[in-house]
Structure 1
Amino acid sequence: MISLINIIFFLAFLVFAYLNLNDIAPWLWVPIYLSAAICCGLVVFHLVYPLVYLCLIAAYLIHATTIYFSKDGVHDWITKYNRPSLVETMQAEKPYIEKTREFFGLLIIASALLINYFAA
């Protein structure tokens, strides 16, 4: 079961890395998604690295926290903008959309690695 989940995570994170090639900061987001994809892919071959998972989880959660409290970040989306939909359009037309999506992406990655950490 854990292998199937990791195959899904591996493929999803590879796609996310590819989609971020045209991001404003591909130098940041492509490695973030690729490192998570590699970690999930290696689990399928029974190669687990709990210390790497913890380091990546810490880095992702620290970055998520900075995004949460940044100007037009998640906190502003909740309090200032009253949580409008983030998925109406794929274009980040409002200032909070990009940061809020990035925040939840980091939480998804951290969750996937946390599952692998506890499964190891």
Structure 2
Amino acid sequence: MKVFNIFFCVVFVIFAGLQYNDPDPYVWMPIYLYAALFCALAARRRFYRKWYLAGILVYLAYAVYLFFAKDGVEDWVVSHHAENIAQTMKATKPWIEETREFFGLAICMAVLGINYWYAGKAKHANS
């Protein structure tokens, strides 16, 4: 788990740094840095299940919004036939930006979810 968390801590810090030129860095930098912080703590065997759950719930609410929003993931799949969202780094179409953001949240939720599960398992093993 230590290598897993160090890896994702670095990845999330890089993701946060890449948001600098984004139209809404004040939203996305904290999202990625929150996940990076809890990965860094987990790498040091400090687990905070309530904070993982809080992050997952906030990310989930935002992901649901991005899924159903105008030019969101649903629109990308239905109206734009899931066109390639990795053609260029610059998202020239709004559904590409929204879909990429959705998947960024999904990655954050998955990592926090794995840490949440592992922390519960580790807690029961130490009991």
| TM superposition score category, shorter chain reference | over 0.9
2:36 aligns with 37
Deviation at 1:115, TM superposition (A): 0.2
2:9 aligns with 10
Give me the whole-angstrom Cα distance separating, in 2, the residues matched to 1:119 and 1:60: 19
Give me the whole-angstrom Cα distance separating, in 2, the residues matched to 1:108 and 1:24: 21
2:52 aligns with 53
Runs of 4+ in 1 over 3 A off after TM superposition: none
| Counterpart AA for 1:94 | K
Are 1:118 and 2:117 counterparts? yes
Which digits, 9 at most, give the CA deviation of each residue in 1:29-52, with x for residues without a partner? 000000000000101111110000
Max radius of gyration: which structure? 2
1:64 aligns with 63
Structure 1's unaligned 5+ residue stretches are none
> What TM-score results when the alignment is normalised by the length of structure 2?
0.92
Structure 2's unaligned 5+ residue stretches are 120-127
Deviation at 1:82, TM superposition (A): 0.6
> What TM-score results when the alignment is normalised by the length of structure 1?
0.97
| Counterpart AA for 1:4 | V
| Counterpart AA for 2:35 | A
2:80 aligns with 81
Give me the whole-angstrom Cα distance separating, in 2, the residues matched to 1:9 and 1:34: 11
Q: Number of residue pairs matched?
A: 119
Give me the whole-angstrom Cα distance separating, in 2, the residues matched to 1:45 and 1:34: 17
Give me the whole-angstrom Cα distance separating, in 2, the residues matched to 1:77 and 1:26: 23
Which digits, 9 at most, give the CA deviation of each residue in 1:48-93, with x for residues without a partner? 1000000000000000000000011000000011110011111101
User: Once the two structures are aligned, what percentage of the paired residues are identical?
Assistant: 45
**Over aligned residues, Cα RMSD in angstroms?**
0.6
